[in-house]
Amino acid sequence: MDANAIDVLLIEDSPGDARLIQEMLAETHRTPFALERVDRLSSGLDRIASRPPDVVLLDLGLPDAKGLEGLGAIQRQAARVPVVVLTGLDDEDVAARAVQEGAQDYLVKGQIDDNQLSRAIRYAIGRKQTDEALRQSQDRLQTIIANTPIILFATDREGRMTTSEGRGLQGIGVQPGQVNGRSIFDLFAGQQDILEIMRRGLAGEEVTSTVEIDGRAFDLCMGPLREGKGDVCGILGVCTDITERVRAEEALHTTLQELEARNQELESFTYSVSHDLKEPLRTVEAFSQFLLEDYAGRLDEQGKDYLHRMGKASGRLKQMIEELLALSRLGRRPEELVRVDPGQVVADIGVAFHTGLEEKNASIEVEGELPCVLGDMSRVEQTFGNLIANGIKFNRSERPLVTVGVQDVRNGAATFFVRDNGIGIDPQYHDKIFGVFQRLHRREEYDGTGAGLAIVKRAVEALGGRVWVDSAPDAGTTFFVSLPLWQEAAIAA
């Protein structure tokens, strides 16, 4: 048998009719057919069970099945096999009913030719395949609706429910189809917000909203159903259950509020402790100086050395307290964000660092024009000030150089770079350096507390930006700072 031939099973007890059909199919050249004929329904069912054909041609007047009995038996056994019924002139009413009950087509014996027969077979197979694809699509859609937390609903023009499906119904204690036939004005009589949305839909408006039904939150998307002339004949909508998301957002909001309160308490505590530590520290610092000035003649060199060390330690502790205060102040997002010009900030830093730059034969350069950012002055000053100061301090070059410029501008943010020709940083320490009081060198080599980069990170993140580093030993260091653009903020406003 030709592998491309259409497999046709003919169930026909009349040898003459069977021979006529066989001859018509043989004369068809457009499509090859492989015909097998049986004369009993029982034989046909056996053939279908062992090897389902592409199509069945079924006589409605078989010895072991009269009328539509044969069609029903085939559909029960192989619902996906298309059936074309064969009838005599006086059986047309029965044949028409057969089509209504699942047959793909019917042919009147004695009134067909080979082209009509071939076309009927091919169309029957095509329609059955289309019906099967549609059925599978409907099954998939029904499965999705049944297993997704949504409510799919529709009403007529009077607001009576015609469709109510979806797993989301379980959340409000309703079974699929349970409210069909009921008016939405009765179902939601106590919820004027929902009724107003439904009225808008029935008036022809598309509506998207968030509603609450029986304690559960839903995203509602709804639009009008229209007849052929465009008149509204009902509404169709989908409700997506977002209750868990809403609860999670509320829990997150509560947690953030609690964290904010604790952060404020911690900052207040840090400020208070730092402030209170200053008083005894000033006393220690002052009395160590008094001892050096008033009792220097009574102290040996070791005693003087102890007092010098005490003074230096007091100074370092004072600096650490000041930096802790700076961290506590800079960590929170400013209440008001304003336009800040980084170019002017860098210029002011150059003036402030003038003496130190001359002592180290160092310089600060700015490449191009720096775009304005959305921030506040103190945090931007702390950011560029600490990065420039580090570039000068951690530098063994005869002419230390710090260059500030803009790397790129995109997605509403500007990425600045602060590049130096200093000693560089081993990549294994790139994350560590942003920790509070993290030092990579001995104090005898480079003074300071190690809080500068922690202040930079805290200040930048408070402005909604980020900071990172690219460096290697003896290859200089480049810090990158991304901050929101002022222009984007102005456009958004």
CATH topology of domain 338-492: Heat Shock Protein 90 (3.30.565)
Intervals of CATH 3.40.50.2300 along the chain: 6-144
Residue range 327-351: average pLDDT?
Answer: 81
Intervals of CATH 3.30.565.10 along the chain: 338-492
Beta strand segments in 100-180, E: 105-108, 150-156, 161-165
Q: What is the pLDDT of residues 241-271, one digit of tens each?
A: 888 888 888 888 888 888 777 767 666 766 6
Question: 143, 167 in Cβ contact below 8 A?
Answer: no
Least confident of 56-65, 72-81, 424-433: 424-433
Q: What is the pLDDT of residue 330?
A: 64
Q: What is the pLDDT of residues 110-143, one digit of tens each?
A: 888 888 888 888 888 888 888 777 777 777 767 7
Q: What is the pLDDT of residue 51?
A: 92
Q: What's 255-330's CATH class?
A: mainly alpha
Asked whether the predicted pLDDT for residue 94 surpasses 70, the reply is yes
Q: What is the pLDDT of residues 176-198, one digit of tens each?
A: 889 999 999 998 888 888 899 89
Least confident of 165-169, 199-203, 321-325, 412-416: 321-325
Separation CA 246–CA 319 (nearest Å): 47
Residue bearing the bigger pLDDT, 174 or 445: 174
Q: Which two tokens stand for residue 468?
A: 């990172």
Intervals of CATH 3.30.450.20 along the chain: 148-241
Asked whether the predicted pLDDT for residue 7 surpasses 70, the reply is yes
Separation CA 162–CA 419 (nearest Å): 69
Residue range 409-435: average pLDDT?
Answer: 86
* Whether domain 6-144 has CATH 2.60.40.10: no
Nearest Cα to Cα of residue 460 among 452, 448, 449:
452
- Which residues, including other chains, have CB under 8 Å from residue 401's CB and lie 6 or more apart? 362, 363, 364, 365, 420, 421
pTM over 0.75: no
Nearest Cα to Cα of residue 52 among 118, 132, 109:
132
Q: What is the pLDDT of residue 320?
A: 66
Q: What is the pLDDT of residue 49?
A: 92
Intervals of CATH 1.10.287 along the chain: 255-330
Q: What is the pLDDT of residues 360-392, one digit of tens each?
A: 899 999 999 999 999 888 889 889 988 998 888
Q: What is the pLDDT of residue 266?
A: 65
CATH numeric code, 148-241: 3.30.450.20
The three-state secondary structure class of 4 is coil
String of DSSP letters for 7-56 = EEEEE-S-HHHHHHHHHHHHT--SS-EEEEEESSHHHHHHHHHHS--SEE
